Structure formats: C-alpha cells, structure tokens
Chains A and B, each alone.
Chain A
Amino acid sequence: MSGLLQIHEPGRTPLPHQREDMAVGIDLGTTNSLVAFAEDGQAEVVRDSRGRALVPSVVAYLERGVVVGEEARRELLDEAERVVVSVKRLMGRGYEDVQRVAGQLPYEVEIPADGDGGMVRLRVAGRTLSPVEVSAEILRAIKARAEAALGHAVSRAVITVPAHFDDAARNATKDAARLAGLETLRLVNEPTAAALAYGLDEAAEGLYAVYDLGGGTFDVSVLRLRMGVFQVLATGGDPLLGGDDFDRLVAEHFLRQRAGVPGDAALTSNEAKMALISARLAKECLTDQDSGSWTIDVGGRPSRHDLDRATLEALIEPLVARTLDITRDVLADAGVTPAEIAGLVLVGGSTRVPMVRRRVAEVFGREPLDDIDPEEVVARGAALQAEALTRGSQALLLDVTPLSLGIETMGGLCEKVMPRNTPVPAARAQEFTTYQDGQSAMMIHVVQGERELVAENRSLARFELAGIPPMAAGAARIRVTFAVDADGLLTVSADEATTGVRQQVAVKPSYGLSEDETAAMLRASMEHAAADMDARLLREARVDGERMIQAVTAALRVDGDLLDGAEREAIAGVVEALRRTLAGDDRGSIQDAVETCNAGTEEFASRRMDRGIRAALKGHSVAEVAESLSGEN
C-alpha cells in the first residue's frame, strides 16, 4: 500500500500496484475468452507475446495433457474427438435442454446417471467431464495469462455471464471459477459490462441499448446512465442463439452441396467438424469480401464450395430477425422507443457480420458506437467493475433479473413470484398453507421463465418444507422468502408464522453440481486449491481483524469516558496485540486475537448499552444521533 520503490533488475520494474493482489475482469465467452485489468478507470486487455487478446474457449484433452486456447483449436484438425468447443452452451444445462442442440454439438453428451435431471456430462477422449470442469480449464489458462502479465498471483475476478443466464448457469460459472482457484467478486451481465466500459470512458448520460451477439448467446439490454449510476431498465435474449448457429447453417449448406451426404447429418462426425471449420472461415471472410470459395477435405474426398454474401445473408436471415424481435420486446419492456436511445453499443464477434450491423442500425435509426473493439468491450467493463469493487468507486451498477421467477401451483401452472426485470438484489415473500389436517411437509418447485406452464419453464430447484407443526388444514401460514442477490443467484428461506418455527431450506438445484461433486472436483485439483483456500481464509480473518480494531477505536472515541485509566489500558493492550497479528500471515493468531479483543471489551460494551438505553428512555440522544447519521447523505 505504499509508494516505496525498490531497485529492480533492468527492464523488470513492475507496473504500479503490482505487488498488490489485483482483481481482474474475465469475459468467459462461448468462442473466445479474454482477461483485462483496470487502474484508475483505465482498462487494459491482457495480450500474449504476439499481441492477441482472445483465447479461444477450446480445451483439448490430449495424451500429453490438457491444452487450452489456440493450441487446442489446432487439434480440431487432427484429433477432433479430443477437443471441446462451445462448452458455455452446456453450463447449468440438463440433458433434455441440450436435446435441442444435441447433434449440433460436435461432441457426445451423456445422459445423467440418476435419470433425474442434473447437469449434462461430455464424453471426450475416454473421459466423462462436466461442463464446469471444462470451463475451469479455460479459466485456469486465463488466470495464468493474467498472472504472467501482472507478475503476481491473481485470485479474484469479476466474471461476465450472458444477461439471460439462469440461476443454474450462473452457479455453474461460479463453481468453475472456484475450481480454477478464483474467487468470483461478482458476476456481471455481459451487456451491462459493455455499457460500463463505454460509460466510464465517455462519462455518457442518457439511454443506451446494448446488442450483444456472441458465439453462442444473444443478449440485449436497455440501460440508463445517470450521475454515475448504470441502471438496467430491461434485458432479454436467447441462451441458445449465436454466431455458432450461423456457422452451423453455413456448414449444413456446404454438406448439402457435398454429393451423397445428407444435409441433416448429425454434426458429430469429423466431416461435420471440418464443414464447421470451413463455414466459420467463410463467414469471417465474407465480412470484407463479397464472395469466396472453400474446400472441405475429409477422407481424401475434397469438395469445393462457393458462397457469396447474399447467400450467407439469406441463410442467417431468420436468426437475425429473431434477435431483432427480441430487441423490440426489450425496448417495450423498458418503456422506451428506439428514437429515445442516445447510444447503441454492439458487442460480440458476431456483430462484425455486416448484415447484423445493418439490420440493428435500421431498428434504432442510428449507427452504433464503435470506439471500443466489440470483442474486448465486455472484458474491459468487467475489469472496471473489478477495480471498483476492490478499490472503491462512485459508479454504481443496478441490474435486473433476466427471467421471471415462479413456483408450481396446482395443475402444473406457474405462479409468478418475481417478474423479469425486477431490480436486484430483490426479495419476495409468498405465503403457503397446508391442505390436509396435520400435514407436516410440502414440496415447493421453483422455476424460471415466462411461460404459463411449469413444464415449459426452466426448473431451478425443488425442495421440501419439513417440520410444519401439526395443525388443521389451512391453519399453518408458511412464509417462503425468495431472495435474488446482486449476482442474480437465488436463495430460499422459510418460516412458519403462527409458531415462529424458522427453517433454512435445502435447495437441490435441478441442473447444478451437488456440494459433494464440487468438493470432489476441488480435491482433484489440489495443486492450487489448498493454497487458494488458505489465502482466502487469511484475507477474511484480516478483514475481520481490521473491522474489530476500527469498531473498538470508534467506541473508545465516543464512550471512552465510561472506562478508568487501567481499563482503557487493558483494552488498548488487546487491540495492540491484534494489530501485531495483522502484520503477520498467521490466520490462527489473528482469529485468537479477535476473540481476546471481543472478550476484553465485553464489560465496556455492556456499559455502553446501559448508557444508550438510559438515553433512549429519556427520549433522545442515541435515537437522534443514529437518525442524523443514517438519514444524512
């Protein structure tokens, strides 16, 4: 924390703040991932020695080990069956979810063993992997890259997720970070991060629309920027729509052209993978060129395929039209007309497709802002938020729930508890009652989505409320509170109002990993897990110790007259002892010192309480002081 300089080897003077544990921003994308860091509101993307910021979100499970990024992507040509791409599309997904995309995914998915939900597993190179583990490999590589660039360990990150990611996918992302040895400071929605990158750079005010079409996901958000507050008014998207789908349509077009190959062949074969690679290349080339020709060569049977931009646009038109429909819906949800939008931000590699740019610009009647690279803008925003969270900032992010939260009622209907676009954090309580005499338990099924029928929404969790005191039917009043935090994650608690029995509800996530599974994975990656955990616990102990010192110092300042000289010295002694332990790295002795401090100030605290209560009885003082402090500013 000081400005003291050291002498370094030539060329090795670290960047300012390097000695500190700088938190980074990570854009964990479907196709590419990247990491950035920020200092004093200036974000910088981490690049490799060749200046490349993007790390392909590709993991190859080779005989020589696991490789990630460009190196893994090259393996697609030789050992495609060992390579996992687009794993983000499977985060927090059940087998039935991926049926829609199964056959479009270039690897096999496995039906969960218990047959009752759970996240899908991949079969790759003889291994069975959860999407969380694969994502953790990408995050490990990203973390290593950031550490190499910054010259110190990186243990905390802001990670971005698609705005419409549901609870399961958000939890899966946090789990992946944990496996990779990263503490997630905050999950930030990708369009919100993009707005942050633009807003802070330009101190912009007004209404902004962010259209984010990535490799596998589509998001659109409308935000209002005002006095440093980033207020999301509405958000929407499609979890399974992105540039990958453009590639798939082009690949299918190519495969139809290849004689003797049916166009609807499942894309699990090598042929399909080659077609996808060519399709992707073709799509990217047609950004600048009007037409081109590509070769697909599988098993010594090469075929040539011509494609021009008009054909490409005809192929992807239905998907682009769908994104525009969603965009109009979100504008309506926000109660905003396109003309009121002061700035249009395009995010994601797929917005490089000329047709996408053109059509979006038409909807808004304006050209998009393009000062910031659309593939880097999300990571930059995440880095700015990481800096804001760890170093303080006047900017504030107010986000919303992307999907409505509901519960199953009689007949498989969904009753909305919290509508979409509710500002988070949010809490809603709902009362339930029993329908049988003496009923002691009831099942509650929580779903996320906009449809009327439970079966058409995403199942989030089922849990049983047990231990209801025996009462007549309809007499029990069970209040269930659904709380969504700033990360968009749900927790549920319940209490019975007539008896006051309170219960923490064990929520079994429908598509998550169980605690046991996560613990097992953590053990399996022991090389850093132990060190990371120790560092984190030490940090928490320090936070607690510093808070204790601050609290006692403040109390002495206000109520020090309640103590005699010897008492004051005794307290000063335990505080000083605590201060000394904080200078070291021993968590145990910090915790002990905090305990000693607690015990040593107990008598002081009760005298302070007595004084406070006496003052309150006189009808003034504490109340007024507290009021003036909390009511001001």
Chain B
Amino acid sequence: MDQEAPMQVMTITDAAAARVRAMIEGRGKPTGGVRVGVRTAGCSGLSYTLEFADEVSEFDAVVRHGPITVFVDPKAQPYLQGTEMDFVDKDMESGFVFNNPNEKSRCGCGESFHV
C-alpha cells in the first residue's frame, strides 16, 4: 500500500500522486502542491474543491506522498478522515475521485455528497 503514516487525515494513491505531479509540472509556475476543501453546494449537500495550493493555512493538514504534498483545509478535515484520493483514467474521461468512508449518500452524478 502507498500509505505513509497511519495518522494522516487522508491517503493518496500512486496514480493520484503521479497525476498531481504531472498537473503541477504542466501548470508552468512554482506550485507547492494541491489543496483539498469541502463546501456546501450541490445536490447532496457537500462537494469537494481541488485546487493548486498557492496559499496554505497554518492549520492545513499536510499529507505527503513522495514528492507530492496535499494540503487539507481545516474545515474539511473532519469530513475527510480516512479518505483515499485516487485517480481514474477511463476511455472517455479521467479525473480524481475521493473514496470517503464518511459519505452516507452521494448524488447520482457523484459530484457532491452527504455525511
């Protein structure tokens, strides 16, 4: 398994880490990592945000996977305990997916969830 430390808020798969790295390289400006957040929006109440981390908060949780750093917004930490961030590459599309054990329901489109 690609888990580094048992106490981390969330884990990142190799595929996700590789993709994050590629995205950061493709961005063309120095980037410290990506930042994960949660906000109230969408059909099932909450939805994830996934953005390049230009600014980080001192309260952000830091998750490392090799050279890759993922920052987790303090507001999001309680919702993301034990979540695995994966990357999926299908014929038609590719993108990140959060396998979150706290999710009780998810909207049909998978873009938002409820805990």
Q: Are B51 and A16 in contact (CB-based, < 8 A)? A: no
Residues of B within 8 A of A17 (CB): 42-43, 109, 111
> Which residues of chain A are near B94, meaning CB under 8 Å?
4
Residues of B within 8 A of A7 (CB): 20, 23, 34, 50-52, 96
Select B50's contact among A8, A15, A39, A40, beta carbons within 8 Å.
A8
Q: Are B43 and A4 in contact (CB under 8 A)?
A: no
Task: Report the minimum CB–CB distance from A120 to chain B (whole Å).
Answer: 45
Distance between Cα atoms of A334 and B15 in the complex (Å): 64
Binding site for B on A (CB under 8 A): 1-13, 15-17, 39-40, 583
Complex Cα distance, B106 from A6, in Å, reads 18
- In angstroms, Cα B95 to Cα A21, docked, is 19
Instruction: Say how far B3's CB is from chain A's closest CB, in angstroms.
Output: 21
Q: Are B51 and A11 in contact (CB under 8 A)?
A: yes
Give the residues from 33 to 72 in chain B that come closer than 8 angstroms, CB to CB, to chain A.
Answer: 34-35, 37, 41-44, 47-55
Taking Cβ atoms with an 8 Å cutoff, the residues of B that contact A are 20, 23, 34-35, 37, 41-44, 47-55, 88, 90-98, 106-107, 109-112
On whether the beta carbons of A6 and B110 are closer than 8 Å, the reply is no
Tell me, in angstroms, the Cα distance from A1 to B97 when the chains sit together: 13
B107 contacts which of A9, A10, A16 (Cβ < 8 Å)? A16
Given contacts A4-B110, A7-B50, 17 further A-B contacts (CB under 8 A): A2-B90, A2-B93, A2-B110, A4-B97, A5-B98, A7-B34, A8-B51, A10-B35, A13-B50, A16-B42, A17-B43, A17-B109, A17-B111, A39-B42, A40-B42, A40-B43, A40-B44
Please give me the residue from chain A that is nearest to B47 by CB atom: A16
The 9 closest A-B pairs by CB, nearest first: A3-B110, A4-B95, A40-B43, A16-B42, A16-B111, A13-B49, A5-B96, A16-B112, A10-B51
A15 close to B41 (CB less than 8 A) = yes
Q: CB-CB < 8 A to B53: which residues of A?
A: 10
Q: How far is the CA of A5 from the CA of B38 in the complex (A)?
A: 13
Question: With A13-B50, A39-B42 as given contacts, are A1 and B95 in contact (CB-CB < 8 Å)?
Answer: no
Q: Across the interface, do A5 and B48 meet the contact criterion of CB distance under 8 Å?
A: yes
- Closest CB in chain A relative to B93 CB, distance in Å: 6
Can you name 9 A-B pairs with beta carbons within 8 Å?
A2-B90, A2-B109, A8-B49, A10-B35, A15-B41, A16-B42, A16-B107, A16-B112, A17-B109
Among B23, B98, B112, chain A packs the most CB atoms within 10 A around the CB of B112
Question: Which residues of chain A have C-beta atoms less than 8 A from B110's C-beta?
Answer: 2-4
